[in-house]
Chain A
Amino acid sequence: MTLLRIDRLSMDVQGLPILREVSLGVDAGRILGVIGESGSGKSMTALSVMQLLPSGARCSGRITLAGQEVLTLSETALCKMRGRDVGMVFQEPMTALNPLKTIGAQVAETILIHERVSRGEAMQRAAEALARAELPQDRFPMSRYPHELSGGQRQRVVIAMAIALRPRLLIADEPTTALDVTTQAEILKLLKRLVAEDGMACMLISHDLAVVADMADDIVIMRDGEVVENGPADRLLTDLQHPYSKALLAASSHVPDRSAEPREASLLSVRDVVRDYATPRTGWWGRAGTFRAVDGVSFDIRRGESLGLVGESGCGKSTLTRAILGLEEVQAGTIELNGQPVFTGHRPNRAVRRHMQVVFQDPYGSFNPRHRVDRLVSEPFHLLDDAPQGSARSDAIAQALESVGLSADDGRKFVHEFSGGQRQRIAIARALIIRPELIILDEAVSALDVQVRAQILDLLAELGDSLGLTYLFISHDLSVVRSITDRVLVMQAGQIVEQGVTQDVFDAPRHTYTQQLVRAAPRLTVAPERIAR
């Protein structure tokens, strides 16, 4: 029997249409994958089921959960339904829990809200739910606060909250997007197990085709508030009909065209670099400890090469990036660009700095919103001793913007007038304007939708070829690194555990950690050639 049935659901928020005639269904014991890019309405569909919509939202159509009409329920009845019949897991585990309450109390609350049981019994059952979510009491007592847990562990607490009352439907909205690949694999496995054990229906929302392809029995693809395609997963992925779905699948496994061959000469040379951070003192008279974020790292980047750096959060990738950029001094070792050290006499070396630039992950947070694009793009000029003035300056800005596919007129606009992908182009223009040799891309495409990501990767490949740029490409996303780098470094706990030609490392990983990473990374089993037909 179909547990959740959404029938021609339309929704608008203060007159602005968000969902149009969405129809889908999930059966008990099955997983429905909902795929779409940002703004496709996939989260809003989930929130419509919960009726936790933004104020001013109006729904029409039908939502039936186990035969009950959701859209006609009173708020009181909805409160009874939420948490008891439908559990929900959210994207951001770091903020999804109340920081001031213990994890035990937060899980027990789900039970206390819906059932007349004693506090002791609720805590007892909370402990069981946490254990089912693989947070056993002996290692994770219920008196822990959220800040004492890692992101993956917090997500398990949220899952325990959602399944505590064994709901009939579990909605997981991008449950692993904020997590590392190995954690992601564990959480997905956990969700799959819980769905099977409890015979729940599950709606798994993701932007990541590979995640959904691994998990789902049925798939729905959404765009602009509409369902463009749906069907059983095995059939759907091999036989996509809608051009949008095909484009989406193609973009997910897109490999940009790169022709430039790296030269032999080394551009950046990193030798035995160590970066320590002081940790708080352990007692009143205890000595401050040190945390070694980067531990004896050595590598070279050849001129014109694209080098990948992969590793999970906390492995030291960002620290290493800051050291290379000369933003922080290292405790030991040398970092040289063209034979010149990035740090001289405890000060960053400007002469070296002007030969490298960086593009960061967040296309929304990395610009001052009150400056116009031309000012933002021309910021790196402060690194030059003879920065161009007047018309030379505006020519340089125009050229930088045009090289990333924007127009010179865009310089007069503010950054809020651009989409995420366009902003990332602006960030690349800003990096290019002083004609650096090395560009460090720190998770530069991680926040972008797959199609935009494919475009930006193409742009980077094209710029690399035409300008002879060298890239250091830092990412947690193995498929992206695979598609755009020549060689790759795998970093774990501050050390480089494996390095080599990208293809070789990913096809035949030697170090156990690399093997673990490669195994955990979700993969699309469908060959891209098959959709190209």
Chain B
Amino acid sequence: MLRYVIKKLLSLAVSLTVASVVIFLALEVVPGDPAASMLGVNAQEDTLAALREELGLNRGPLARYGDWVGGMLVGDFGTSYTYRTPVSEMIADRIWISLPLALLALSLSTLIAIPAGIWAASRRGSGVDLGVMGVTQLGVAIPNFWFAMLMVLVFAINLRWFSAGGFVGWEAGFWPAIHSLTLPAIALALPQASILTRVMRSALLDTLGEDFIRTARAKGLSRAQALWRHALRNALIPVLTIIGLQFSFLIAGAIIIENVFFLPGLGRLVFQSISARDLIVVESVVMLLVCAVIVVNFIVDITYAIVDPRLRRAR
């Protein structure tokens, strides 16, 4: 098991390094002059020169890459060109919205999907199964921004249970903060939960058809006991894979929902920095998101090995 973890840690380090090189090349080296791409085509030569000086672009790419990575390792992400504030502060402000939002949405989706998937699979072909499959079909099909606007209409404007957008901040207290993240989290969770329900259901149905379930039944286990004791853990592997992918998506992919609800999260930050051509911010935030995705995948890999003894032997 230890060897497996070490092996996965090594591959995590390699992935992060490769990702940082690719991001750096894509944003700073390949476009030619980053200063020109930040200031646009009509920039004056002296402004360009000043920016190059400020960003240290006159040095070689290798030195710049070293500074960038070295800075990030100690928490220094540079200074935003447009806002003139340290990028680390900007990220710190926003990550406390994006991360809880993603966690909330993921918890919601998992808490809905796993029981719903088990319920549908254990009553295959019944009304319950058809109902769950129908609802999840809709959930996959409905665009989440539209669903978000619908929820705003119903719960914020008509019923006035929630505010239509914005974030009260964690200073206002834990529950008020969660309250203001609830609608966006539901909007994010809906399609995720629908997909996850379907994955859970089909994985469980596959497992229930396996020979060892028949063996378990021949020992005297009831259908339900066989499902809970033998099928469920075996069916979790594909579900974990999807949860990992979904979490990565939720951290980075909430841009639209953050816009609908006026949430100053990371998605909005990337969106604004791209519009403002603030390369420093884009570079760092993208790296951070990549980092999150890779770390989540690492956690998923470790969970696989906890679930499945066959994976514990490092290969």
Q: Nearest CB to that of B230 among chain A residues?
A: A98
Residues 89-142 of A at the B interface (beta carbon under 8 Å) = 90, 92, 95-101, 109-110, 113-114
B160 beta carbon closer than 8 Å to chain A: no
Q: Nearest CB to that of A111 among chain B residues?
A: B219
Q: A99-B310, A100-B309, A145-B309 are in contact. Are A114 and B220 (CB under 8 A)?
A: yes
Contact call A110/B210, Cβ cutoff below 8 A: no
B215 beta carbon closer than 8 Å to chain A: yes
CB neighbours of A97 from chain B (8 A)? 212, 215
Q: A100-B234, A100-B309, A145-B310 are in contact. Are A161 and B215 (CB under 8 A)?
A: yes
Q: A99-B310, A100-B308 are in contact. Are A113 and B219 (CB under 8 A)?
A: yes
Q: Shortest Cβ distance from B103 into chain A, in angstroms?
A: 28
Residue-wise, chain B 210-229 has the 8 Å CB interface mask toward A (1 for contact) of: 11101111111110010001
Contact call A90/B215, Cβ cutoff below 8 A: yes
Q: Which of B211, B214, B221, B233 lies at the interface centre, i.e. has the most chain A CB atoms within 10 A of its CB?
A: B211
B1 beta carbon closer than 8 Å to chain A: no
Residues 62-81 of A at the B interface (beta carbon under 8 Å) = 75-76, 79-81
Task: Report the Cα distance A81→B220, complex, angstroms.
Answer: 7
- Residue tally, chain B, CB below 8 Å to A: 22
Q: Shortest Cβ distance from B107 into chain A, in angstroms?
A: 25
Contact call B212/A110, Cβ cutoff below 8 A: no
Task: Report the Cα distance A84→B211, complex, angstroms.
Answer: 20
B315 beta carbon closer than 8 Å to chain A: yes
CB neighbours of A87 from chain B (8 A)? 218
Contact call A79/B309, Cβ cutoff below 8 A: no
- In the complex, the number of residue pairs spanning A and B with C-beta atoms less than 8 Å apart equals 72
A280 beta carbon closer than 8 Å to chain B: yes
CB neighbours of A83 from chain B (8 A)? 218-220
CB neighbours of A99 from chain B (8 A)? 212, 234, 308-310
Q: Nearest CB to that of B308 among chain A residues?
A: A100
Task: Report the Cα distance A251→B80, complex, angstroms.
Answer: 85
Task: Report the Cα distance A243→B307, complex, angstroms.
Answer: 54
Task: Report the Cα distance A79→B214, complex, angstroms.
Answer: 13
Q: Nearest CB to that of B233 among chain A residues?
A: A100
CB neighbours of B221 from chain A (8 A)? 79, 109, 113
Q: Nearest CB to that of B6 among chain A residues?
A: A284
CB neighbours of B234 from chain A (8 A)? 98-100
CB neighbours of B309 from chain A (8 A)? 99-100, 145, 147
Task: Report the Cα distance A98→B309, complex, angstroms.
Answer: 11
Instruction: Tell me if B's interface is mostly helix, strand, loop or mixed.
Output: helix
CB neighbours of B217 from chain A (8 A)? 52, 82
CB neighbours of A158 from chain B (8 A)? 215
Residues 233-268 of B at the A interface (beta carbon under 8 Å) = 233-234
CB neighbours of A114 from chain B (8 A)? 220
A359 beta carbon closer than 8 Å to chain B: no
Q: Shortest Cβ distance from A388 into chain B, in angstroms?
A: 44
CB neighbours of B233 from chain A (8 A)? 100
Task: Report the Cα distance A100→B309, complex, angstroms.
Answer: 6
Task: Report the Cα distance A52→B221, complex, angstroms.
Answer: 11
Q: Nearest CB to that of A162 among chain B residues?
A: B218
Contact call A110/B308, Cβ cutoff below 8 A: no
Q: Nearest CB to that of B314 among chain A residues?
A: A280
Q: Shortest Cβ distance from A76 into chain B, in angstroms?
A: 8
Contact call A96/B220, Cβ cutoff below 8 A: no
Contact call A147/B310, Cβ cutoff below 8 A: yes
Contact call B220/A79, Cβ cutoff below 8 A: yes
CB neighbours of A110 from chain B (8 A)? 219-220
Partner of B212, one of A79, A84, A88, A95: A95
CB neighbours of A84 from chain B (8 A)? 220
CB neighbours of A80 from chain B (8 A)? 220
CB neighbours of B211 from chain A (8 A)? 90, 92, 95-96
Q: Shortest Cβ distance from A88 into chain B, in angstroms?
A: 4
Task: Report the Cα distance A88→B230, complex, angstroms.
Answer: 18
Q: Shortest Cβ distance from B203 into chain A, in angstroms?
A: 14
A50 beta carbon closer than 8 Å to chain B: yes
Task: Report the Cα distance A110→B229, complex, angstroms.
Answer: 13
Q: Shortest Cβ distance from A42 into chain B, in angstroms?
A: 16
Q: A75-B222, A113-B221, A280-B315 are in contact. Are A98 and B307 (CB under 8 A)?
A: no
Contact call A52/B219, Cβ cutoff below 8 A: no
CB neighbours of B220 from chain A (8 A)? 79-84, 110, 113-114
Task: Report the Cα distance A100→B306, complex, angstroms.
Answer: 10
Q: Shortest Cβ distance from A216 into chain B, in angstroms?
A: 22
Task: Report the Cα distance A481→B210, complex, angstroms.
Answer: 34
Q: Nearest CB to that of B310 among chain A residues?
A: A147
Q: Nearest CB to that of B213 among chain A residues?
A: A98
Task: Report the Cα distance A101→B309, complex, angstroms.
Answer: 8
Residue-wise, chain B 192-219 has the 8 Å CB interface mask toward A (1 for contact) of: 0000000000000000001110111111
Contact call B310/A96, Cβ cutoff below 8 A: no
Q: Which of B218, B229, B230 lies at the interface centre, i.e. has the most chain A CB atoms within 10 A of its CB?
A: B218
Partner of A79, one of B222, B307, B315: B222
Task: Report the Cα distance A179→B216, complex, angstroms.
Answer: 22
Task: Report the Cα distance A339→B208, complex, angstroms.
Answer: 54
Q: Shortest Cβ distance from B186 into chain A, in angstroms?
A: 34
Q: Nearest CB to that of B221 among chain A residues?
A: A113
Contact call A52/B230, Cβ cutoff below 8 A: no
Task: Report the Cα distance A92→B212, complex, angstroms.
Answer: 10
Q: Shortest Cβ distance from B154 into chain A, in angstroms?
A: 41
Q: Shortest Cβ distance from B4 into chain A, in angstroms?
A: 13
Contact call A96/B219, Cβ cutoff below 8 A: no
Interface residues of A (CB under 8 A from B): 50, 52, 75-76, 79-84, 87-88, 90, 92, 95-101, 109-110, 113-114, 145, 147, 158, 161-162, 280
Name 8 A/B residue pairs within 8 A (Cβ), A-sorted: A79-B221, A82-B220, A97-B215, A99-B234, A99-B308, A113-B219, A147-B310, A162-B218
By Cβ-Cβ distance, the 4 closest A-B pairs, closest first, are: A83-B220, A95-B211, A83-B219, A88-B218
Q: A109-B229, A161-B219 are known contacts; what are 20 more A-B pairs with Cβ within 8 Å?
A: A50-B218, A52-B217, A75-B222, A79-B221, A82-B218, A83-B220, A88-B218, A92-B211, A98-B216, A98-B234, A99-B212, A99-B308, A101-B230, A110-B219, A113-B221, A145-B310, A147-B309, A158-B215, A162-B218, A280-B315
